[in-house]
Chains A and B, each alone.
Chain A
Amino acid sequence: MTATATVTAAATTNGLLLEATDVSKTYGAVVALDHASLSVRPGEVHALMGANGAGKSTLVKILTGAVTPDSGRIVVRGRERMSHSPADARRNGLVSVYQEPAVILDLDIRDNLRLTSTPLEPFRHWLNELGLANLSLTRLARRLPLASLRIVDLARALAIEPDVLLLDEITAALPANLTELVLRVVQQQGNDRAVIFISHRLIEIAAICDRATVLRNGETVGVVDVTAGSEDKIVDLMLGEGAVALGQQVASVVAAAAQADRQPRVSAQALSDGRRLHDATFDLYPGEVLGVVALEGQGQDELFDLLSGAERPAAGTLSVDGKPVSFRHPADAIRKGMVFVAADRAEALLMQRSVRENISLPFSARLTQWGWINLGREGKKVDEAVATLQIDARAGSEVRRLSGGNQQKVTIARWVASGVKTMLCFDPTRGIDIRTKTQIYILLRDLAAAGAAILLYTSELKEIQLACDRVIVIFGGQVVAEMPAAGADEATLLRAAHNLKPGAALPEEVVAATSADKAAVEAAIQADVDGGSAAPVEQP
Chain B
Amino acid sequence: MSAPAASIGRPRSRAADSLGSFGRDHAWTLGLLVFLAVLLLFTKFVNHNYDLKSLASTATAVLPLALAAVAQAVVVISGGIDLSVSAQMALTSCVAATLMKENPGDGTAVAIVIGVLLLGMLLGAINGGLVVVTRVPDIVVTLATSFVWAGFALLVRPAPGGSAAGWLKDLVVGPLIPGVDFVPKAAVLLVVIVAVIWIPLSRARLGLSLYAIGSNRLAAFRSGVPVNRTKLLSYIITGFIAAFAGLSLTASTGIGSPVPEPTYTLVSIGAVVLGGVSLAGGVGGVFGPLVAVVVLQLIRDDMTFMHVDSNYGLVAQGFILIGVLMAGSLIQMRRRRT
A: which residues have CB within 8 A of B? 64, 66, 85-87, 90, 96, 98, 100-108, 111-112, 114-117, 131-136, 138-140, 143-145, 147-148, 175-178, 517
- Interface residue B58 (Cβ < 8 Å from any Cβ of A): no
Q: Are A86 and B221 in contact (CB under 8 A)?
A: yes
What size tier do the contact residues of chain B reach? 35 or more
Determine whether the beta carbon of B220 is less than 8 Å from that of A136.
Answer: no
Contact among A64, A115, A131, A136 for B212, CB-based, below 8 A:
A115
Select one of A111, A135, A145, A517 contacting B208, CB under 8 A. Answer: A111
Q: Mark B77-92, 1 if CB is under 8 A from A, else 0.
A: 0000000000000000
B204's nearest neighbour on chain A, judged by CB, is A114
> Which residues on the A side are within 8 Å of B18 (C-beta)?
136, 138
Q: Is the CB of A138 within 8 A of B17?
A: yes
Across the interface, A107 reaches (CB within 8 A) one of B2, B4, B212, B221, namely: B212
Residue of B nearest to A102 (CB): B222
Q: What residues on A are CB-neighbors of B205 within 8 Å?
A: 114-115, 117
> Chain B's nearest CB lies how many Å from the CB of A26?
22
- Give the distance to chain A from B66, nearest Cβ to Cβ, in Å: 24
B residues sitting closer than 8 Å to A (CB atoms) are 1-2, 4-5, 7-12, 14, 17-18, 21, 24-25, 205, 208-209, 211-212, 214-216, 218-226, 282-283
Asked whether B1 lies within 8 Å of A177 as measured between CB atoms, the reply is yes
Q: State whether B222 touches A145 (Cβ < 8 A).
A: no
Asked if residues A178 and B219 are in contact (CB atoms below 8 Å), the reply is: no
| A145 neighbours in B (Cβ, 8 Å) | 4, 7-8
Are the C-beta atoms of A105 and B216 separated by less than 8 Å? yes
| Cα(A105)–Cα(B205), bound, Å | 16
Report chain A residues within 8 Å CB of B17: 136, 138-139
- 8 Å CB contact of A132 from B2, B8, B219, B283: B8
Q: In the assembly, what is the distance between CA of A261 and CA of B320, in Å?
A: 65
Bound-state CA distance A66–B11 (Å) is: 40
B282 touches A104 (CB 8 A): yes
Contact of A90 among B5, B8, B209, B224 (CB under 8 A): B224
Contact between A107 and B208, CB atoms less than 8 A apart? yes
Closest to B13 in A: A136
Q: Which of A102, A108, A177 contacts B219 (CB 8 A)?
A: A102
| Residues of chain B contacted by A138 (CB below 8 angstroms) | 14, 17-18, 21
- B2→A143 contact, CB < 8 A: no
* Chain A positions within 8 Å of B211 at CB level: 104, 106-107, 111
Q: Which of A66, A90, A102, A147 has the most CB of B within 10 A?
A: A102
Q: B-side binding surface: helix, strand, loop or mixed?
A: helix
For A147, give its contact among B4, B11, B283 (CB under 8 Å).
B4
List 9 interface pairs A-B (beta carbons < 8 Å), by A numbering.
A85-B224, A86-B223, A104-B282, A105-B216, A116-B224, A134-B9, A134-B10, A134-B11, A178-B4
Closest-by-CB residue of B relative to A521 is: B1
B-chain residues with CB within 8 Å of residue A175 when the two chains form the complex: 1-2, 4-5
Contacts of B7 in A (CB 8 A): 145
A115-B223 in contact given A107-B211, A138-B21, A139-B21 (Cβ < 8 Å):
yes
Nearest Cβ distance between residue A134 and chain B, in whole angstroms?
Answer: 3
Whether A107 contacts B215 by the Cβ 8 Å rule is yes
Of all chain A residues, which has the CB nearest B202? A111
CB closest residue in chain B, given A518? B1
Closest CB-CB distance, A16 to chain B, in whole Å? Answer: 25
Q: How far is the CB of B201 from chain A (nearest CB, A)?
A: 13
Contact A143/B223 with A115-B212, A177-B5, A178-B4 known, Cβ cut-off 8 Å: no
Evaluate contact between B8 and A135: CB separation under 8 angstroms. Answer: yes
For the complex formed, measure the closest distance between the CB of A328 and the CB atoms of chain B, giving whole angstroms. Answer: 16
**List of B residues within 8 angstroms of A517 by Cβ:** 1
In the bound complex, residues from chain A placing their C-beta under 8 Å from that of B14 are 136, 138
**Chain A residues closer than 8 Å to B226, beta-carbon distance:** 85, 87
Query: Would you call A104 and B21 a contact (CB within 8 A)?
Result: no
Contacts of A148 in B (CB 8 A): 4, 8
Q: State the 6 A-B residue pairs at the shortest beta-carbon distance, nearest first.
A: A134-B9, A87-B224, A102-B222, A106-B282, A106-B215, A102-B219
Distance to closest chain B CB from A519 (angstroms): 12
CA distance A115 to B224 in the complex (A): 8
Are B1's CB and A115's CB within 8 A? Answer: no
B8 touches A104 (CB 8 A): no
